[in-house]
Chain A
Amino acid sequence: MELIIAIAIGALTAAGIYRLLAGSRLDLLAGILLLSQAANLIVFASGGLLHGAAPLLHDATGPLADPLPQALVLTAIVIGFGILAFLLILLQRDSDNRP
């Protein structure tokens, strides 16, 4: 299973870098989005991949998934959202300055 996740992460990275290098503003945006998703998945996968073991103590029966990477990734998603929104503001500002 880890192999397939690793391949998916690699594909996200490759797609992100290819977009970054393609050159248009939209490509830049897409590239950053894809790269941040790849990074989130790496952190998430580092905690181990368990099915049906959400770190909720009330329903817990067996081993729990590692909650720490999840907390890290949650904030990373929100911050990544913030970065992209800010980038959109920059793009809009840029297009306002052009005829």
Chain B
Amino acid sequence: MAPLFHLLLPALLALAAVSSRRGWRWSPSAASGVIAALAAAAAGAALWSSAQGASVVFSHPWVAPLGVDFALRLDPFRSLFLGLVWGTTVPVILYSGLAFRDDPRLAGLLATLLLFAACMIGLILADDLVLFFLFWEGTSVLSFLLIGWNHAGAEARRKASQALLVTGLGGLALLAGLVLLRFATGAGSLGAAFGTDLSAHPLSTAIIVLIAAGAFAKSAQVPFHFWLPNAMAGPTPVSAFLHSATMVKAGVFLLALAAPALGAHPLWTPLLVTCGMLTVAAAVRRAWNETDLKAVLAATTLAALGHLTILAGIGTPAALKAFVVFLLAHALYKAPMFLSSGALEKAYGSRDLRRLRGAVFCLPIVGTAMVVSMASLLGLFPLPGFVGKEYFLKAAWAQSPALAIAAALSLAAVIALALRGLAPLLARGDLNLPAKSPGTALQLLPWISAAAALALTASFPWLSQSVLTPAAAAVGGTTGASVELWPGWGPSLVLSLAALLIGGVVAFHAARPAARPPASVGDTTYQTLLDALGRGSRQLASALQDRPLATHLGLVLGAAGLLIAPPLLAGPLPLPDLRVDAADTVPAVLALLTALSAAGAATARSRVALLVSLGLTGLLIALLYAYFSAPDLALTQLLTETILLVLMVAVLRWLPKPHGTPRRGSPLAAAGALSAGAVVTMLVIKAKALEFTPPVSQFFAERSLPDAHGANIVNVILVDFRALDTFGEITVLAVAAIGAAALLRKRRRPAVFDPTRSTLLSTALRLLLPPLFLFAAFLLLRGHNHPGGGFIAALVAATAAAFIHLSGRPAPSSRLDSALLVTGLSLAALSGLFAVAAGRPFLTGLWIKPDLPGDGPPLHLGTPLLFDLGVFLTVLGFALAFLRRLLPTTPSPVPSWN
């Protein structure tokens, strides 16, 4: 349970942070104190579990079908990282509480920092590949929020999104790498996947490249190094926490985990060592003439990450042991340096090194913490930095002396940069005095980390025994010997001294030009690429989308055609049966007439011609349905066509001329339309030639009478077998009616024709009403066994309603159609709930057979009949809603009532 505790604690602490309010007893700064105390306890727990040496696994099935577990692992190597995260959390939270005491967003900042800590801890502990990736992405997103914390500034936003884009792209590469890793090993856990030597696997090269890309983006290695200096736009605690101590270590953490499995591959060492070296060089070059204290610190962090990458690249047990020592040493000296820089910034109101001259002497508490940490960075005996450097050079020397010399030179470059950058802080004479005191608490804060560093150094045998040696062993750095403070005389010590000497000489003898720091090549390339991407997208969008509707549609249809046509033309075209039997004369003529009237609709030049062709087409299709044994379809088609034509006539009168008349399409459109027609014809012919498996319809035909007591299988499918689909459909209709109501408020328009002028028509329409409504009721009742049913009955009733509109009677009120919609949907739902009450799935048909007097056929009453009634009412309500809005009302002959 220990891993779960470490994962949940920061999330709970984040809740505690957001629950605080300024001005309450539980204020954000009070919360920060409590949180820091708990974090310190958790850091202690992490060290303790490291000293236990065993690894604890917590696993719970998560997505079982995919083999994804919620698996956490706590071994000494992870304990070390865990201790680092918790250990850095303490001063960072305290610093935030002190420095932003009066900031209204403090509670949010604390909560975001703690959520980040939760993700980081999850990343460290996750043993499952998917879980690891999720936490990895979580840190990227939270880092985006934290870098852009001062989001009022455009520059902060740009830098935050840059960090997100770069690490996000790296995350994609990592995901691909992890998927390949899963394929290659079949293992879902990191431990099992990296537990075997993969260097000979055919996928290993791709895995290395992808995982390295993800890790390099996260740890800001060349060629993705440019985002880290920009990320310093965030507040000081954010820089100290994310971009020095924790998140940027995630990449090298992954590389160290992967080193035992992939280190033997010929690509691994050259790739990692080269990129690590280049990162050191780029960092030093960028910051060489920098006058911003935080930028100098950021550069040394970048260089340290480069060194860690080199060590993971060497990948030998000795190198991994050096990795562990170097990692801890770096964290111990870098956190106090960042916190000191924050205190100095608070005091001087600036981070400019020229203004901070002699700051060490003006603020001695902060100054001594800075100097001690600096000594560790330079690698002076007996500080942790010295041990880290020593083991680094030793591992490199064992690999090859040339590599060791290169490593020493890179260390010398960092030493020179640090001395050169930080020397002004120690300058004597011509002091700048701080503008105000930063407060004792803020000054003491760096000493929390610095003192921890000193205490750990003082108890080095214990540190080595309980933390460093087991951690190195857990990551594969078993060389038998434990980590020693004084490694003895040897080539590494000579190189280390030489690096210090060279660095010192260069730092104090190189000229300091007043030139601006050079622009980062990576940053400019990134910006150019991003701009080009934006420009290209805009151009593409305006080329494709910013056109008249017809052109736009043409592009979409053309693209669809290009996708469909080639596979269709690829296979042999089955020769269709060309013979037309004498018995098929009727449908053949109907189909040909349909094609002809479609052609008429295409070539119509006036709206009357177009409407007549459309109506004719619909009628012919209805006849085809009727001929080919689909009476329900024929009725539905006929009725919808009729109502649609009435509605179209009514609306077209009010369309402005250019919109309400058919136009002649371009020759290109004609060619496209003809080829689309040809493609669809071939599609149908080919589809008919396919062998279908026995259709599910067989089941419907067999069960329709015994189970659903209905002879009209189509209706039984609609209201019983597939009633849920129908329920969804009538819901869509109801929503469309609501949308129509929102779009169009009723307004008075002059009538299409004035029925008062044609007594004959008006009387005929009135006479037709009662029989039509009766017919609708008849169709509804017989629908289960004969052609008819709710849909068709509703359409007949709607036709009658259209007659009401046309005959000049007062139109049905708007209450009626909403009442019909609500009642219909409720009835349909109610009919389904009976089954639920009986413990069956929603909308299962339930039947009763009441005993009737007489010898008539048995009567079956069931919930599907109720459902069909609901369908009828909903469709009628829908049709009325549209009729009422689209058909004009007749101006009343006597406009006296209102």
Which residues of A approach B to under 8 Å, CB–CB? 1-30, 33-34, 37-38, 40-42, 44-47, 49-58, 64-68, 70-71, 73-75, 77-82, 84-86, 88-96, 98
Contacts and interface: CB of A to CB of B under 8 A. Distances in A.
A12 B618 CA distance: 11
Pick the most buried of A3, A18, A50, A80: most chain B CB atoms within 10 A of its CB. A18
A77 B633 contact: yes
Contacts of B557: 17, 20-21
A3 to B, nearest CB: 4
B557 to A, nearest CB: 6
B677 A14 contact: yes
A86 B697 contact: no
A78 B595 contact: no
5 contacts: A26-B662, A45-B688, A75-B726, A78-B733, A84-B644
A81 B879 CA distance: 10
Contacts of A57: 701, 704-705, 711-713
A54 B744 CA distance: 41
B90 to A, nearest CB: 62
Given A8-B594, A22-B665, A93 B695 contact: no
B743 interface: yes
Contacts of A25: 655, 659-660
Contacts of B599: 11, 15
Contacts of B722: 71
B672 A1 contact: no
Given A79-B732, A81-B644, A26 B660 contact: yes
B644 A7 contact: no
Interface of B: 548-550, 553-554, 557, 576-578, 580-581, 583-584, 587-588, 591-592, 594-596, 598-599, 601-602, 607, 610, 614, 617-618, 621, 624-625, 627-633, 636-637, 640, 643-644, 647-648, 651-652, 654-656, 658-666, 669-670, 672-674, 676-678, 680-685, 687-688, 695-697, 700-701, 704-705, 711-714, 717-718, 722, 725-726, 729, 732-733, 736, 739-740, 743-744, 747, 785-787, 791, 875, 878, 882, 885-886
A85 B744 CA distance: 12
- By secondary structure, the A interface counts as helix
A62 B700 CA distance: 16
Given A21-B672, A70-B632, A3 B886 contact: no
A82 B732 contact: yes
B660 A24 contact: yes
Contacts of B733: 78-79, 82
B662 A22 contact: yes
A91 B656 CA distance: 10
B696 A41 contact: no
Pick the most buried of B651, B669, B711: most chain A CB atoms within 10 A of its CB. B651
Contacts of A86: 736, 739-740, 882
B366 to A, nearest CB: 68
A56 B550 contact: no
A30 B610 contact: yes
Contact of B677 (A5, A13, A52, A64): A13
A73 B550 CA distance: 28
A92 B732 contact: no
A62 B318 CA distance: 85
Contact of A88 (B577, B647, B681, B701): B647
Nearest to B604: A30
A92 B681 contact: no
